[in-house]
Homo-oligomer: A and B are copies of this chain.
Amino acid sequence: MNRASTHPQLQSIKVACSNCNLRELCMPVGLDEQQLKRIDEVVAVRRKVKRGSTLFRNGEPFTSLFAIRTGFFKTCVATEDGRDQVTGFQMAGEIIGLDGIVHDHHTCDAVALEDAEVCVMPFDRIEELSREVAALQQHVHKIMSREIVREHGVMLLLGSMRAEERLAAFLLNLVQRLHARGFSQSELVLRMTREEIGSYLGLKLETVSRTFSKFVEEGIVEVKQRHVRIVDTAALKRIVNSQQGSH
């Protein structure tokens, strides 16, 4: 059952879900001993993904969801004519691959922005087990619903905010998620380029850069390359609901 020997990217599991420190992020809570043990079985295997390479790609058959253990991903969709759009950035404890369920193949690309490791969870096994463990079933539903709600937020951002509001919202969101994982509330290292940020926010990379510079001038943040330090969180929050940007 140890497939590590046959495929360099795959490796057998050392840490069970029930012991994983990301447990409260990607698993249901309040399970008894026995249920926990069964859920451990959902994760078939781990897989390492090198920075710059894809976990899955648009068009590939869908078989599994992936829980990010370490690392950082972007997901992006593309049109035939080559333009593409980053639809999200995902970090440890988050689940990717939900897009693949409808048509049994993926409809976006997931690219590692830094070396990463994911838990591979075969979807048929998830379905099987969540028919038996109600808490798991609910958890799966909530994860999907959360993704829908998240995307509503992005639509609001893309549809009705100005550049400064978008970037402010983006930074606040990132730092808040990092904080939930035990990192600083005010410092972060961007794992993506200005162009990727721009794609996500519906802006050009130059606009992202200029907006960063503006924030720096105003003393709201300090920026050194990809390292960002938020000096005035309140100001960022004020920018996000400044209302003047209703287009």
Contacts and interface: CB of A to CB of B under 8 A. Distances in A.
Contacts of A210: none
| Majority DSSP secondary structure for residues of A touching B | helix
A80 B241 contact: yes
A107 B152 contact: yes
Interface residues of A, number: 52
Given A80-B241, A81-B243, A152-B107, A100 B159 contact: no
Contact of A144 (B132, B144, B159, B204): B144
B131 A137 contact: yes
Given A148-B98, A152-B99, A81 B141 contact: no
B85 A142 contact: no
Interface string A104-137: 0001100000000000000000010011101001
A149 B82 contact: no
Interface of A: 77, 79-85, 87, 98-103, 107-108, 127, 130-132, 134, 137-138, 140-142, 144-149, 151-156, 158-160, 199-202, 204, 241-243, 246-247
